[in-house]
């Protein structure tokens, strides 16, 4: 294929994939299988890798994010991001209607919408392409989270024409659907990590994660409800939102026009209950005057528009009895309290347990056993206890005191300054911690041991065959074969996979050790910087914290890990079994410190190296490859076709631009 044929093929695939993405995530009407979608995406990926000159940040392949840590630049909102005034009763809405009627003398309509409970975001489109995504921040300026936003499938990267203004802004809410929130929490529970409190906080936390590949994994969703710009197609807000849907935005199908306040009140009655069936969190209804001309006439107060108001639902609340409190210990030793309740029906489901999160919450509620407690399902999928009826408390009732000792191994619990959770410090002797750590060790992203899972680990531990991850490498076929549900075949599979794991690179072995706060990315940074386990183990807190992107918290946790004799013994034993505890030769070749302390952003397309190769070269030479431009960026490594907004930004900040050849000279 010649270059122009390749270019057309790439464009055709991009358009086709964007269309399937729209059908799946916006319309909810997929027309091809996931498998076929993945095949086409792979084909596009391969073509783009072979032909880097056609790179496009808004290609469907960019939705997987990148594991380059980014710093967020603060940007000023062109239109301030205000909030809405709230109301809690129908009377307040009738008052709102009278106020509006005094100010508008001509006939007008309202629009009623669901009030989504997530993290608000503002998207700026130029010439049909996503240019920037900014969080609300303080309303005046927010964080530029474009790289993260690109991973959210309900955000179109390129618009479907025709008819969109050449430049406009659209605002909406980023949400974590309940089902996804549940799945993430199940995985966290399994990994012994503290659970996320609710979908809203998780969504806004995810939006600000430094690693966009991690954001992609959170499977965020979004609804868009507010267009801003000079040349919107129509005067009606409702009508404009219908256009936005055609351009590719996910909009709510439950938005409705109402002729008068009675129709508004009817809409509210209808949704007060029905909202419990929605896949995402809502906390009210928003009522807006439809005509943008009239909206402009009504204007804003200092805090909110005069043309809109929010009606907040009261969270459904029931009372029941607190029967007991139990405590769960996770892989990291974090102890989570759970309230056991007399079963009660709440928002369509029977509630038996409620999360209590931590000791402070128990203390603040002043909980006693057999208390009558109020349980609410707000934004949270896991119900929570919001209050206690102290008047009904028995005089002899026993106060809930957070346990002092581990429920599994009786070791005295500890709480570090500034942390909400209590931990069991008996890392090497506490069964759920031991099992949790081995489960982490064998997991896919760590040592990826085939044939071993939670149940087998439980079994092997129960039989006294393993007490730590190193013991796995001592296992013999004859020990595994007689165990329940296992046999000759499983034994061979497990042993083969353990043997193969000896080739797994150092950075993954380091991650597999399960050091608190040392995730995949941190493990990679440490491995690349310090080359082998001995150098890491011999470092001081200060030395570790001095490494770019390694904070004090990570450094302290790593040092504390290596201070424990049991951990050092496990490492020695794993090493004697042949696991990789240093970088391999390929990674060591060509290393230098020539770029230490420099943050470099790569932009455009290059002749000699692919962007991925350049990224590796930066890291190998001690530099940091950043994903967005800020004052702290040292250089822009610029190829051809650098986007105009990026060019403007580096020029404004006075960041020097270097060519591929300049860069190669720097690391020569």
| Beta carbon of residue 442, minimum distance to ligand IVH (angstroms, whole number) | 42
Q: In the complex with ligand IVH, which residue's Cβ is closer, 168 or 226? A: 226
Give CA–CA dist 552/444, Å, rounded.
28
Q: In the complex with ligand IVH, which residue's Cβ is closer, 255 or 469? A: 255
User: What is the β-pairing status of strands 624-626 and 599-603?
Assistant: parallel
Task: Kindly give the residue spans of alpha helices, DSSP state H, lying in 501-610.
Answer: 506-512, 520-530, 533-537, 541-545, 552-563, 565-576, 585-588
Q: In the complex with ligand IVH, which residue's Cβ is closer, 115 or 624? A: 115
Q: In the complex with ligand IVH, which residue's Cβ is closer, 225 or 247? A: 225
Query: Which residues have CB under 8 Å from 657's CB, separation 6+?
Result: 635, 636, 638, 650
State the Rg of the chain over Cα.
28
Give CA–CA dist 507/169, Å, rounded.
42
Beta bridge partners of 636: 601, 657
| Beta carbon of residue 391, minimum distance to ligand IVH (angstroms, whole number) | 35
The answer to whether the beta carbons of residues 534 and 543 sit under 8 Å apart is no
Q: In the complex with ligand IVH, which residue's Cβ is closer, 116 or 271? A: 116
The answer to whether the beta carbons of residues 54 and 8 sit under 8 Å apart is no
**DSSP label at 348?**
T
Size of the chain in residues: 668
Candidate list 42, 115, 303, 312, residue with the active-site label? 115
One DSSP character per residue, 26-91 reads ISS---S-HHHHHHHHHHHHHHHHH-GGG--TTSGGGGG---S---PPEEE-SS------EE-SHH
Give CA–CA dist 283/315, Å, rounded.
8
Any idea which residue has 């914290």 for tokens? 545
Tell me which H or E stretch contains 205: helix 199-207
Give CA–CA dist 495/487, Å, rounded.
12
Give CA–CA dist 501/469, Å, rounded.
12
Please state, in angstroms and as integers, the Cα–Cα distance from residue 367 to each residue in 336, 337, 351, following that order.
Answer: 16, 12, 18
Q: In the complex with ligand IVH, which residue's Cβ is closer, 116 or 181? A: 116
Query: Which residues have CB under 8 Å from 426's CB, separation 6+?
Result: 333, 406, 409, 411, 433
Q: In the complex with ligand IVH, which residue's Cβ is closer, 83 or 576? A: 83
User: What is the β-pairing status of strands 316-329 and 422-423?
Assistant: unpaired
Strand, helix or coil at 162?
A: coil
For the record, the structure tokens of 426 come out as 């008996």
Give CA–CA dist 149/167, Å, rounded.
18
| Beta carbon of residue 559, minimum distance to ligand IVH (angstroms, whole number) | 42
Cβ-proximal residue to ligand IVH, closest one: 120
The residue ranges that bind ligand IVH (CB under 6 A) are 82-84, 113, 115-116, 120, 173, 225-226, 286, 305, 310
Give CA–CA dist 152/147, Å, rounded.
10
Q: In the complex with ligand IVH, which residue's Cβ is closer, 76 or 496? A: 76
| Beta carbon of residue 247, minimum distance to ligand IVH (angstroms, whole number) | 18
Q: In the complex with ligand IVH, which residue's Cβ is closer, 84 or 400? A: 84
| Beta carbon of residue 94, minimum distance to ligand IVH (angstroms, whole number) | 20
Q: In the complex with ligand IVH, which residue's Cβ is closer, 113 or 507? A: 113
Q: In the complex with ligand IVH, which residue's Cβ is closer, 111 or 554? A: 111
Give CA–CA dist 205/648, Å, rounded.
29
Judge whether 217 counts as a catalytic residue: no
One DSSP character per residue, 135-156 reads E-TTSSEEEB-HHHHTT-TTS-
Give CA–CA dist 604/602, Å, rounded.
7
Q: What angle do CA 272, 114, 89 make, to 5 degrees?
A: 50
Query: Which residues have CB under 8 Å from 565's CB, separation 6+?
Result: none
The answer to whether the beta carbons of residues 563 and 578 sit under 8 Å apart is no
Q: In the complex with ligand IVH, which residue's Cβ is closer, 286 or 598? A: 286
The answer to whether the beta carbons of residues 95 and 281 sit under 8 Å apart is no
Which residues are designated catalytic?
115
């Amino acid at each position: 294929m010649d270059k122009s044929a390749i270019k057309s093929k790439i464009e055709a695939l991009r358009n086709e994939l964007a269309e399937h993405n729209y059908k799946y995530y916006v319309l909810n009407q997929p027309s091809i299988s996931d498998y076929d979608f993945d095949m086409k995406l792979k084909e596009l990926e391969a073509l783009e890798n072979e032909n880097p000159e056609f790179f496009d940040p808004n290609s469907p392949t960019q939705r997987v994010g990148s594991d380059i840590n980014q710093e967020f630049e603060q940007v000023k909102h062109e239109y301030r991001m205000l909030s809405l005034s709230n109301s809690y009763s129908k009377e307040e809405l009738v008052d709102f209607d009278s106020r509006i009627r005094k100010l508008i003398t001509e006939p007008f309509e309202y629009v009623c919408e669901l009030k989504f409970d997530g993290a608000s975001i503002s998207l700026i489109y130029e010439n049909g392409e996503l240019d920037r995504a900014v969080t609300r921040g303080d309303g005046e300026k927010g964080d530029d989270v474009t790289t993260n936003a690109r991973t959210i499938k309900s955000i179109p990267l390129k618009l479907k024409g025709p008819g969109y203004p050449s430049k406009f802004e659209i605002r909406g809410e980023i949400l974590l659907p309940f089902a996804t929130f549940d799945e993430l929490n199940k995985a966290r529970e399994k990994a012994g990590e503290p659970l996320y409190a609710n979908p809203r906080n998780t969504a806004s936390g995810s939006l600000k994660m430094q690693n966009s590949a991690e954001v992609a994994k959170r499977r965020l969703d979004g609804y868009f409800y507010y267009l801003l710009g000079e040349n919107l197609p129509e005067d009606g807000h409702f009508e404009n939102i219908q256009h936005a849907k055609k351009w590719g935005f996910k909009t709510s199908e439950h938005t409705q026009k109402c002729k008068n306040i009675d129709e508004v009140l009817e809409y509210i009655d209808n949704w007060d209950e029905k909202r419990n069936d929605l896949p995402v969190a809502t906390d009210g209804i928003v009522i807006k005057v439809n005509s943008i001309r009239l909206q402009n006439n009504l204007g804003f107060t200092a805090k909110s528009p005069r043309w809109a108001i929010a009606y907040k639902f009261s969270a459904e609340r029931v009372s029941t009895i607190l029967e007991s409190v139990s405590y769960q210990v996770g892989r990291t030793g974090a102890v989570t309290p759970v309230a056991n309740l007399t079963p009660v029906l709440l928002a369509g489901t029977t509630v038996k347990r409620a999360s209590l999160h931590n000791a402070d919450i128990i203390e603040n509620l002043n909980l006693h056993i057999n208390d009558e407690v109020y349980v609410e399902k707000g934004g949270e999928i896991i119900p929570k206890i919001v209050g206690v009826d102290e008047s009904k408390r028995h005089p002899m009732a026993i106060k809930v005191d957070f346990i002092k000792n581990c429920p599994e191994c009786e070791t005295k619990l500890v709480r570090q300054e500034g942390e909400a959770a209590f931990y069991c410090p008996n890392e090497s002797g506490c069964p759920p911690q031991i099992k949790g750590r081995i489960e982490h060790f064998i997991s896919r992203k760590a040592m990826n041991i085939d044939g071993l899972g939670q149940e087998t680990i439980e079994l092997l531990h129960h039989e006294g065959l393993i007490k730590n991850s190193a013991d796995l490498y001592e296992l013999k076929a004859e020990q595994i074969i007689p165990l329940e549900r296992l046999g000759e075949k499983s034994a061979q599979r497990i042993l083969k996979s353990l043997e193969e794991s000896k080739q797994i690179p150092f950075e993954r072995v380091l991650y597999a050790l399960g050091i608190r706060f040392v995730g995949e990315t941190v493990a990679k940074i440490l491995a690349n910087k310090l080359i082998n386990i001995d150098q890491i183990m011999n470092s001081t807190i200060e030395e570790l914290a001095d490494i770019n992107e390694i904070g004090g918290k990570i450094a302290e946790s790593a040092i504390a890990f290596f201070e424990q004799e049991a951990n050092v013994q496990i490492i020695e034993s794993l090493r004697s079994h042949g696991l990789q505890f240093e970088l391999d030769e390929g990674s060591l070749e060509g290393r230098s410190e020539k770029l230490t302390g420099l943050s470099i952003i790569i932009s455009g397309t290059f002749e000699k190296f692919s962007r991925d190769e350049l990224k590796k070269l930066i890291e190998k030479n001690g530099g940091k490859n950043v994903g967005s431009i800020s004052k702290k960026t040292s250089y822009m490594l610029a190829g051809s076709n650098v986007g105009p907004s990026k060019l403007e930004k580096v020029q404004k900040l006075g960041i020097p631009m270097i060519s591929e050849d300049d860069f190669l000279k720097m690391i020569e």
